[in-house]
Chains A and B, each alone.
Chain A
Amino acid sequence: MQRLSRPKALTFAHVVGLPGVAQGPQLLARLEGRSSLKEIEPHLFADEDSPVHGEILEFHGPEGTGKTEMLYHLTARCILPKSEGGLGGEVLFIDTDYHFDILRLVTVLEHRLSESSEEAIKHCLGRFFLVYCSSSTQLLLTLYSLETMFCSHPSLCLLILDSLSAFYWIDRVNGGESVNLQESTLKKCSQLLEKLVNEYRLALFATTQSIMQKTSNSAEGPSCAFNRQSDVDVDYRPYLCKAWQQVVKHRIFFSKQGDSKTSNQFSLVSRHLKSNNLKKHFFIIGESGVEFC
């Protein structure tokens, strides 16, 4: 591990114009920033044309509202080759609760490829990487070890974490009585994620589950502020640590439309936290995955 290979030093060198430090086109690709959010999903991010310099987006919602399907959709958009309308980039998917279903991803790809041969599917899947984590400590250590992967895969454009809240109750009990101790590993994960995302210019999509009840119940959650945005009817109670709340740039709430049981219409509200921009989108989920209305 050479000290000079740390990206920080190289970014500095690039700015100052030191010769002989750049190591080829891979490095340039990283420094220029990867695809913009708009290229990743034009419907959701119509205003975000600038290349990603480190974005953290949170998908939040109760069970059955389309979060996982949206992740498959974004993954497919990234790993499909450019000739099929994708980005030809790589995706790293971190799965914390054995939720990921590769057969479903393959179905989505099959419906989106113009000629869905085994070869084409394998080619796309070659750009997809999956990691299973079984505890928050393992998640933290895995993030450290993935740093080498981010270095060596410059075409990695998307980092997905499904879900960040999987260890919530277990961590709360392991931390004993001290809230700080309970949240410490997740806090370190959040800080490390922010550092990695900024250094390697990634877009991180992390899901968090709505596991708290709508009505106030101090037994179930920390006594932090409740949702004040009454103009948006969202079922959001922040329960993860403050460190995570601070690194999120976009928060996207998912909900299911329609009262009838057979409706397959969903909606999401996207909120850019700095500009407080709110946007609502509708989508349906079909065989080929998410389709925006």
Chain B
Amino acid sequence: MGVLRPGLCPGLTQDMVQLLRSRGIKTVVDLVSADLEEVAQKCGVSYKALVALRRVLLAQFSAFPFNGADLYEELKTSTAILSTGIASLDKLLDAGLYTGEVTEIVGGPGSGKTQVCLCVAAHVAHGLQQNVLYIDSNGGLTASRILQLLQARTPDEGEQVESRRAGFLGGSDTAGALQRIQVVRAFDIFQMLDVLQDLQGAVSQQVSSSSGTLKVVVVDSVTAVVAPLLGGQQREGLALMMQLARELKTLARDLSVALVVTNHMTRDRDSGQLKPALGRSWSFVPSTRLLLDTSQGAGASGSWRVACLTKSPRLPTGFQEMVDIGTWGTPVQSPTLQGDHM
């Protein structure tokens, strides 16, 4: 939106555009903010025509207010709370991930962020039978890892043997779940923006899949594509980051999906404390933030983590839960199962 051109809206003819341009009115904003009586006199255009034009342009380009009662009705039915598949995280998050919101999982290297994402993807695809879009910018996702998680969830040995034999063509639960997880790789911000825009496009054209609706979008990680752009004197990096943030939030709200992003930690310049990466501007973007930390003074097993809720739109922050990431997706079966059919 911006420049006035013929056909932009009904009533905006080539002549009109020329006349207005000759008096310095080139954009929609110029026309809307101008004193129409003055313009009518100077351009020799009818005042009524200008008023009508202004009204049409405003109707077309400005946002329309919603009434609270209608909005509430709509969100009441379309918002869902999706369990993460990990009981202690669900407890922290007040039952799970909310659709329409961006949830951030932040932690240092090896803190289990990708593991949580994989677990969420496996649970939503298998347990809740909904679709997942997994945008991988880290290379942390492999199909075999997801398969391990899914197999750990299906205790029935027979079912898994069947699925191996059938080569995933049969109606096995694990195979079906794998099909519900769509993986896209995006290693820079432009690829990621493209993926998000393609998704919006696909949904708006109502390309539906037979296996369920998209309920979760995972971005693992957002730091990998944004961090290279930040720092130094460049404003462009920050603008791109905010554009990505806007796309993510719009996607979450418009498609009613739970959007999960992972972020790394950096050290604060002044205090030396660890804090979430990507700076202050990004800190306002997610509605909920979960911090994963290696528990201090933990026992010999290094698989315990402390999950802390550091930002929430509806719960008091600061509560913690202990989570054991070692038990997730550990194959109970023999090692020969790994790498099969992948």
Binding site for B on A (CB under 8 A): 1, 62-64, 68, 79, 92, 97-99, 101-107, 121-122, 124-134, 137-138, 140-142, 144-146, 149, 163, 166-170, 172-174, 185, 188, 192, 209-215, 219, 260-264, 285
Contacts of A188 in B (CB 8 A): 29, 33
Partner of B59, one of A97, A145, A285: A145
Contacts of B232 in A (CB 8 A): 219
Closest-CB distance, B36 to chain A (whole angstroms):
9
Contacts of A130 in B (CB 8 A): 65-66, 68, 71
Contacts of A263 in B (CB 8 A): 318
Is A131's CB under 8 angstroms from B29's CB?
A: no
Is B280's CB under 8 angstroms from A142's CB?
A: no
Cα A186 to Cα B322 with chains together (Å): 46
From known contacts A62-B280, A138-B63, infer whether A262 and B75 are also in contact, taking CB-CB under 8 Å.
Answer: no
Cα A140 to Cα B1 with chains together (Å): 12
Is B69's CB under 8 angstroms from A126's CB?
A: yes
Contacts of B269 in A (CB 8 A): 213, 215
Q: Which of B1, B59, B79, B238 has the most CB of A within 10 A?
A: B238
Cα A267 to Cα B28 with chains together (Å): 43
Nearest B residue (CB) for A143: B62
From known contacts A97-B284, A211-B281, A264-B316, infer whether A125 and B69 are also in contact, taking CB-CB under 8 Å.
Answer: yes
Cα A192 to Cα B269 with chains together (Å): 39
Is B61's CB under 8 angstroms from A138's CB?
A: yes
Beyond known contacts A132-B63, A170-B243: 16 more, CB 8 A cutoff? A63-B280, A99-B284, A101-B313, A122-B72, A125-B67, A125-B72, A129-B68, A137-B2, A145-B62, A146-B62, A167-B242, A168-B242, A172-B239, A209-B280, A209-B281, A219-B233
Cα A145 to Cα B57 with chains together (Å): 10
The contact sample of 24 A-B pairs, CB cut-off 8 A, is: A63-B280, A64-B283, A97-B284, A99-B287, A101-B101, A102-B71, A104-B313, A104-B314, A125-B69, A125-B72, A126-B67, A134-B250, A137-B28, A138-B1, A142-B63, A144-B33, A145-B59, A173-B239, A174-B239, A215-B270, A261-B308, A261-B317, A262-B318, A264-B316
Is A126's CB under 8 angstroms from B308's CB?
A: no
Is B280's CB under 8 angstroms from A211's CB?
A: yes
From known contacts A101-B314, A144-B58, A261-B318, infer whether A128 and B280 are also in contact, taking CB-CB under 8 Å.
Answer: no
Q: Does B15 contact A (CB under 8 A)?
A: no
Contacts of B5 in A (CB 8 A): none
Closest-CB distance, A259 to chain B (whole angstroms):
11
Is A137's CB under 8 angstroms from B1's CB?
A: yes
What are the 8 tightest A-B residue pairs by CB atom distance, in nearest-first order?
Answer: A128-B68, A262-B318, A125-B68, A261-B318, A173-B239, A145-B62, A145-B58, A142-B62
Q: Does B246 contact A (CB under 8 A)?
A: yes
From known contacts A97-B246, A131-B66, infer whether A169 and B75 are also in contact, taking CB-CB under 8 Å.
Answer: no
Nearest B residue (CB) for A286: B316
Cα A121 to Cα B62 with chains together (Å): 29
- Residue-wise, chain B 282-323 has the 8 Å CB interface mask toward A (1 for contact) of 011101000000000000000000001011011011110000
Cα A90 to Cα B310 with chains together (Å): 33
Contacts of A169 in B (CB 8 A): 235, 238-239, 241-242, 281
- Residue-wise, chain B 260-291 has the 8 Å CB interface mask toward A (1 for contact) of 00000000011000000001110111010000
Interface residue count on the B side (C-beta < 8 Å): 59
Enumerate B126-177 residues with CB–CB distance to A below 8 Å. Answer: none
Cα A280 to Cα B277 with chains together (Å): 32
Contacts of B26 in A (CB 8 A): none
Closest-CB distance, B49 to chain A (whole angstroms):
13
Closest-CB distance, B41 to chain A (whole angstroms):
14
Cα A166 to Cα B239 with chains together (Å): 11
Q: Does B32 contact A (CB under 8 A)?
A: yes
Closest-CB distance, A196 to chain B (whole angstroms):
13
Closest-CB distance, B10 to chain A (whole angstroms):
17
From known contacts A98-B250, A98-B253, A170-B239, infer whether A260 and B281 are also in contact, taking CB-CB under 8 Å.
Answer: no
Is A144's CB under 8 angstroms from B79's CB?
A: no
Cα A121 to Cα B245 with chains together (Å): 32
Nearest A residue (CB) for B252: A98
From known contacts A102-B72, A172-B235, A209-B284, infer whether A128 and B67 are also in contact, taking CB-CB under 8 Å.
Answer: yes
Cα A234 to Cα B245 with chains together (Å): 27
Enumerate B32-89 residues with CB–CB distance to A below 8 Å. Answer: 32-33, 51, 55, 57-59, 61-69, 71-72, 75-76, 79
Cα A104 to Cα B79 with chains together (Å): 13
Q: Does B249 contact A (CB under 8 A)?
A: yes
Partner of B62, one of A144, A167, A211: A144
Cα A173 to Cα B233 with chains together (Å): 12
Is B75's CB under 8 angstroms from A134's CB?
A: no
From known contacts A64-B317, A169-B238, A215-B270, infer whether A144 and B243 are also in contact, taking CB-CB under 8 Å.
Answer: no
Nearest A residue (CB) for B242: A169
Is A98's CB under 8 angstroms from B29's CB?
A: no
Q: Does B236 contact A (CB under 8 A)?
A: yes
Is B236's CB under 8 angstroms from A173's CB?
A: yes
Contacts of A127 in B (CB 8 A): 68
Contacts of A261 in B (CB 8 A): 308, 310, 317-318
Is B72's CB under 8 angstroms from A106's CB?
A: yes
